[in-house]
Structure formats: structure tokens, C-alpha cells
Amino acid sequence: MTREVLAYYAQDLEHDRLREGRGRLEFWRTRDVLRRTLPPPPARVLDVGGGTGVHAEWLLADGYEVDLLDPVPLHVERAARVPGLRARVGDARRLPVPDGGADAVLLLGPLYHLADRYAAVLDTVNLGTYLEERQREAAHAAAADGVMLSPRRGFTAYFHHPDEVAAEFAEAGLTVAHRPG
Ligand SMILES: C[S@@+](CC[C@H](N)C(=O)[O-])C[C@H]1O[C@@H](n2cnc3c(N)ncnc32)[C@H](O)[C@@H]1O
């Protein structure tokens, strides 16, 4: 994890990000997609990069068994307060879980939400920051090559093109069963 990403998460902005304001739209949308695509409870879910447990919380309430992994100790500390949640520090690149150790694995965030590269333009328009030259240029640069240096957040992110994702999964030895709409 780069220092800039760690410094960003050390600000403790993640806990409330999906719990209030317009972030709730992402929360509801993600929950809706997951409820339609996950195996029915009871099942074991590994939430990799699960942050402070925002999704783990409702997954537990739905009857899933949830393990959360995140490299930011502050996130894990907060997640560990969710009753019934097993939270530990870890990295998506070195999963401390054997093959078959979970029925479903979530990776919502470490690949920067698997957002497609037009997300930055849409996001800046939505936030009203599209009118700021630096924000607009960064968003358009991201749409062109996927690399986004976020002036607002202060870290670099990579936005995948939707058409790249299946090939990247195949390269990592994973099979894409289907892409939810
Ligand atoms: C934008 S947050 C998303 C949190 C939560 N999954 C959600 O959907 O709200 C991205 C999360 O990915 C975590 N992360 C970053 N790099 C990671 C890595 N290499 N392995 C696992 N998690 C990582 C961060 O610590 C952070 O909690």
C-alpha cells in the first residue's frame, strides 16, 4: 500500500463515507447487487478491503458468516466492533485464507471499486467540481488512460475500462461467470 493511500485512510473518512449523504446511494446500490448475486445465507463471505465493515454489518444481519480483511489498522479496529464480525489486518495480494475457504469473496475498493474509467468525469460533474480546471483535467486524463491522480483526495487510482475486467480476471486465474447489470 502506498504512503499516500495510507495517509488518506488515516484521516478516518471511510467510516461515514457510505453511511451518510450521497454515499448512501453507493451503499444501497451495492447491497442491492450483492443481494441478487451472492449465494443465499448461510454462506461464508470474505470481505477483502472491507474497510470499517459497512457491508459486513448487513451481511451478518442477513445471516452470513463474515470475515473482513483490510490493511488499515484503524479500519480493522472499527470493524472489530461490529458484533459477530471477525476482522483482521491483511492484504488482498496475500490472502491468509486457503482455496475454498469462503463461498464468496468481496473486493469492493482495493481495485478502486472496479469503477470504470468514466466514473471520474461523472463524479466531478455530480460533485460540482467539474468546473475546477485541475479536477476536470484529472477526470479527463483518467477517462483517457485510466490513471487518476486525485487532486482532492491526494492519491493515485486506476480506473478499469469495463471491457478490460474479464481479461484481467482470466489472467489472475479467475473466471467471470457474469457481470451484473
Ligand atoms: C474505498 S474503501 C472501500 C471499503 C468498503 N469495501 C466499501 O465498499 O465501502 C477501499 C478499501 O480498500 C482497502 N485496501 C486498499 N488496498 C488494499 C489491499 N492491498 N488489500 C486489501 N484492502 C485494501 C482500504 O484500506 C479501504 O478500506
Domain boundaries, the chain: 3-110, 115-181
Quick: pLDDT tens for 39-55: 999 999 999 999 999 99
Q: To test ligand 1's pocket by mutation, which of 32, 52, 70, 107 has the most ligand atoms within 8 angstroms of CB?
A: 70
Omega into 42 within 30° of 0, i.e. cis? Answer: yes
Q: What is the pLDDT of residue 114?
A: 46
Instruction: Tell me what pLDDT residue 110 has.
Output: 74
Domain 3-110 has CATH 3.40.50.150: yes
Measuring from atom 1 of ligand 1, which residue has the nearest CA? 109
pTM strictly above 0.85: no
Distance 167 CA to ligand 1 centre (A): 22
Ligand 1 within 6 A of CB of 102: no
Of residues 7 and 179, more confidence is placed in: 7
